[in-house]
């Protein structure tokens, strides 16, 4: 088994700006979420944060599901 997953495909990682665009927030908000433990991340060799796309999409789906429930009340 490889370090990138069972199929050997590399994990897709997103920049803070890409995550911020998906959630429609400022990139600094994404950094705060990471520091608070709401998002997992890895550090590049240069020290920058990168976020696993699969986790971000799952969180985005959960967040949009929550907002839909709030609008229906």
More confident residue, 39 or 64: 39
| Position 1 in a domain | no
Cβ atoms of residues 34 and 2 within 8 Å = no
User: Does 66 have pLDDT greater than 70?
Assistant: no
Cβ atoms of residues 63 and 23 within 8 Å = yes
Mean of the pLDDT values across residues 7-27?
93
| Position 67 in a domain | no
Q: Which domain holds residue 30?
A: 13-61
pLDDT at 18: 98
| Edge-first strand listing for the sheet containing 49-52 | 13-14, 49-52, 42-43
| Position 48 in a domain | yes
CATH of the domain at 30: 1.10.1660.10
Which residues are within 8 A (CB) of 29 and not within 5 positions of it... i.e. 6 or more apart? 20, 23
pLDDT at 63: 82
The total domain count for the chain is 1
Give tens-digit pLDDT for 32-60.
Answer: 999 999 999 999 999 999 999 999 999 99
């Amino acid at each position: 088994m490889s370090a990138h997953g069972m199929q050997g495909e590399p994990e897709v990682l997103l920049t803070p700006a890409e995550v911020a665009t998906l959630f429609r927030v400022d990139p600094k908000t994404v950094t705060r979420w990471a520091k608070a433990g709401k998002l997992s991340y890895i550090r590049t060799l240069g020290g920058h944060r990168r976020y696993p796309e699969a986790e971000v999409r799952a969180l985005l789906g959960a967040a949009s599901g929550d907002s839909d429930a709030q609008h229906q009340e």
